[in-house]
Chain A
């Protein structure tokens, strides 16, 4: 079964750091494009970061310079290192895989999502 399990969220003070983990099963993280998407309470979805299978990384402007996406191939796990956290980073954080159609070699939206982990930044 293809599955993503996100962990690591919690209550953190402004300026603090947190590392989120997303353990994958049923597929190989390093062979896929992997995303972090967040959702503030009562708000819509916001794309946060992406790591290509090549290792190239991309970030939303709102987190650039503060967040780092990475993966551990041996553990088949995706990470999001979050530093200098702000109140506006409070959200549910989801990890999600980009779907891939091998016949056309196109990526197509996020086809597998974790259940999310909650990050609350507050003093």
Chain B
């Protein structure tokens, strides 16, 4: 199974500042066509289901604010929130969908300073 490891486990950032969450996979999640990383980022607010933010490592889902961006390739990925807003307080998860079983990172808790 592909193991997804996120860092840090928790993050405290001031409003308007940048937040960065890292995700490392135990093996490459570059798809069979060798041109897309099968890596997604989700946001989960308290009491809600997860929400897809980013897929193919860097493609923003429709309706997601442009302060959210994804980068990386192969085994190392990053989610960046460019200017933190109060509503961004949540848990964030990375997930690989390259190989079954699909696997998630352990989650990163983002809080406001």
> Does A99 reach chain B (CB closer than 8 Å)?
yes
Q: Which of B49, B97, B103 interacts with A113 by CB under 8 Å?
A: B49
- Chain B residues touching A, range: 20 to 34
Interface 9-mer from A11-19, A65-73, A101-109: A101-109
Which of A45, A107, A114 gathers most chain B CB within 10 Å?
A: A45
A107 and B97 within 8 A (CB)? yes
A108 and B107 within 8 A (CB)? no
B104 CB contacts on chain A under 8 angstroms:
44-47
B50 and A110 within 8 A (CB)? yes
A109 CB contacts on chain B under 8 angstroms:
40, 42, 52, 55, 95, 97
Q: Which of A46, A60, A61, A111 interacts with B52 by CB under 8 Å?
A: A111
> Does A27 reach chain B (CB closer than 8 Å)?
no
Q: Known contacts A109-B55, A111-B52; decide if A61 and B36 are in contact (CB<8 Å).
A: no
Cβ proximity bits B17-50 to A, threshold 8 Å, 1 near / 0 not: 0000000000000010000101010101000111
Write 14 A-B pairs (CB below 8 A) sorted by A numbering: A44-B104, A44-B106, A45-B104, A45-B107, A50-B102, A99-B52, A99-B55, A108-B56, A109-B52, A109-B95, A110-B40, A111-B55, A115-B49, A116-B49
- Residue ranges of A at the interface with B (Cβ–Cβ < 8 Å): 35, 37, 44-47, 50, 58, 60-61, 94, 96, 98-99, 106-111, 113-116
